[in-house]
Chains A and B, each alone.
Chain A
């Protein structure tokens, strides 16, 4: 079960936008739009921010948006705020094992 590939770090200044990528194999992304994104602050449990590529759970600001093109999914955070500084993980349906798989995580720094 291979992990999804994310850049280890990303950064931007408050008010700016940042995009985090998540690259998988076709077996992860090709058939199903089952990509999720999670935000994790230090010492806290992950929080679901995006599911099914583009959908936001209730309570998640619309500054967070998701997209997918081919084998790469992306999370964009617009109008960055200091509290957005966290680790972000993508996840996708892994197909053959009927389970999910996570990316390695991206640490977002708000400069």
Chain B
């Protein structure tokens, strides 16, 4: 059974870099595309980006200048870095597997990240 689990700091200071890791179990990270999605309090879902073995990485233009995603096949993980964060980046961040048709079929439980000094 494939599972994904987010990890990283729950508190980040304004202007610093938010760094999260998603660990994949039950399958190889090399076999699929993977995505980061976030959800601000009381708001909807926002797709941040999609990556595949560090190739063909696609970012939401709303984040493009601040975001970097990467895949570490040796650790079976993929990661998110979001630079110059503000309070508006406070959200629950999810990692998810992308199947055909851009459907997100396996989700992590989500990790809450608060941007505050």
Contacts of A101 in B (CB 8 A): 47
| A45 close to B107 (CB less than 8 A) | yes
Nearest opposing residue in chain A for B109, CB measure: A45
Report A28-52 residues with CB < 8 Å from chain B CB.
32-34, 36, 38, 45-48, 51-52
A1 near B: Cβ within 8 Å?
yes
Measured CB to CB, the closest approach of chain B to A35, in angstroms, equals 8
Known contacts A99-B47, A101-B47, A34 near B102 by CB under 8 Å: yes
Task: Say which residue of A47, A92, A97, A105 sits within 8 Å of B44 (CB atoms).
Answer: A105
Q: Judge whether B2 is part of the interface by a CB distance below 8 angstroms.
A: no
Contact B50 A98 (CB under 8 A): yes
Q: How far is the CB of B77 from chain A (nearest CB, A)?
A: 18
Chain A interfacial positions (CB closer than 8 Å to B): 1, 3, 32-34, 36, 38, 45-48, 51-52, 57, 89, 91-94, 97-105
**B residues near A, CB below 8 A?**
35, 44-47, 49-50, 56, 58-62, 94, 99-105, 107-110
